[in-house]
Amino acid sequence: MRMRQISFLSDTEKNMSKLFWSSLFTLAAAAAFSLKRYFGGMNCRCNQRLDCKAVVITGATSGIGKALALEVAKRGAQVILACRDMKAAWAVVDEITKETHNEGVYALPLDLTNFKSINEFCGLLSECEFDIYSLVNNAAVFYLPLQTTADGFDVTFQTNYLGPFLLTLKMLPSMAKNGRIVNVSSEAHKLCSSLDIPKQAGLFEVYGHSKACLNLLTLKLASTVDGVSAVNVDPGNVETKIFRNFPLLSNPLLKILLWPIRFLTVKRPVQGAQSVLHAIICPQPANGCYIRDCKEEWPSDFCMNDTNADALWHRSLQWTKMTEEYVLQTNEYSSV
C-alpha cells in the first residue's frame, strides 16, 4: 500500500514537472514569436501594381536592394538593377525572372565611387528610353576604413551621398511625371549636426553624416523640383552584408554569441524592404518625409533645415562640376 502511494506521488510529480516545462516552453516560444513579430516591423499593405513602370534600384545584388527588386518585379515593374558587380547582378536578374516570370528585369553597371561610371550609367539608361517612375538610392557602405576615391572624396561620403547626388541630378530628365526619388537613409543620420564632419569623427559618425547629407538632398529636391517627389526611408535594423566591416559583427565568435538576440530582433531583408516598397507605391507620400515602419515621419531638425540643404546643394554642385543651369535645362519639371 505504502509502495503504491509513493509511486502514485512520483507520477504526479512527473506530470507536474512535464506540465511546468511544457508551459515554460510554450511561454518562451510565444515570447520569442511576439518579439520577432514586433521587431520584424510593418508590412506594406498597399496593393498597387507597377505594370509598365520602371524602377531603378542601386545596389541590388544583396540585402534590402535585392529583396526590393523581387517585390517590385512581383508587382509587374520593369526593374533596372544598378550594380558594380555585374556577375552578381545577372545572377539576381536570373533568380528574379525565374521566380516572378517577369521578363522586364535588367542590370546595368554602376559604381558610385566613380563619377565617370555614373555618367556612363546615365548615358546607357537614356539610350534604353525607360520612363523612370522611381529611382531608389539604396546602395551604401558602412564602417569602411577611410580612403579616398579616384574623384578625391571619402569612399563612404561618395558612395552614400555624393554619387547618389550626381546620379539623381543626371537622372532627372529620364524621370516620369509624378515619379519618386526614394533615398534609403538610416537612424544614424541623427548623429550628425554639422555639414563639416569633425576630423576625429569615428566611422559610425562618418556613416551618419553621409545619411544626413542624403536626407538634406531629399529636402532640397522636395522643395525645388516640381513633378517628381522625394522621400527618405529608414529600413530599420536588417540582417545584411552591410555589417561586414563592423567589428562587433565581423568577428565570427561574437557573431555566433549574438545570433539568438539578432535572430529575434533584427529584420530579414524582405522585412527591411517593406518601408522602401511603401515609399514607391503608397498613394501620395508627403514630399520630403521620412518613412519608417511604413509610416510617415520626419528626419532630425538638422535635416529639416533649408539653410543646411541649400549650403550642401551648392557645395555638391561644385564638387560634381554640375550647374544649376544644367538642372534647369534638363529637367522640364524643375523650378530650381
Ligand X SMILES: NC(=O)c1ccc[n+]([C@@H]2O[C@H](COP(=O)([O-])OP(=O)(O)OC[C@H]3O[C@@H](n4cnc5c(N)ncnc54)[C@H](OP(=O)(O)O)[C@@H]3O)[C@@H](O)[C@H]2O)c1
Residues of this chain that interact with ligand X (CB under 6 A) are 58-59, 61-65, 83-85, 110-113, 138-141, 159, 184, 186, 235, 237-238, 240-242
Options 207, 290, 326, 333, the catalytic residue: 207
Smallest distance from ligand X to CB 203, Å = 13
58 vs 78 by CB, closer to ligand X: 58
Would you call 207 a catalytic residue per the annotation?
Answer: yes
Smallest distance from ligand X to CB 51, Å = 26
Smallest distance from ligand X to CB 247, Å = 16
Residues 6+ apart with CB under 8 A from 187: 234
174 vs 186 by CB, closer to ligand X: 186
Smallest distance from ligand X to CB 173, Å = 21
89 vs 281 by CB, closer to ligand X: 89
Smallest distance from ligand X to CB 142, Å = 6
Side chain identity at residue 255, one-letter code? K
160 vs 308 by CB, closer to ligand X: 160
State how beta strands 54-58 and 78-83 pair. Answer: parallel
Residues tagged active-site: 207
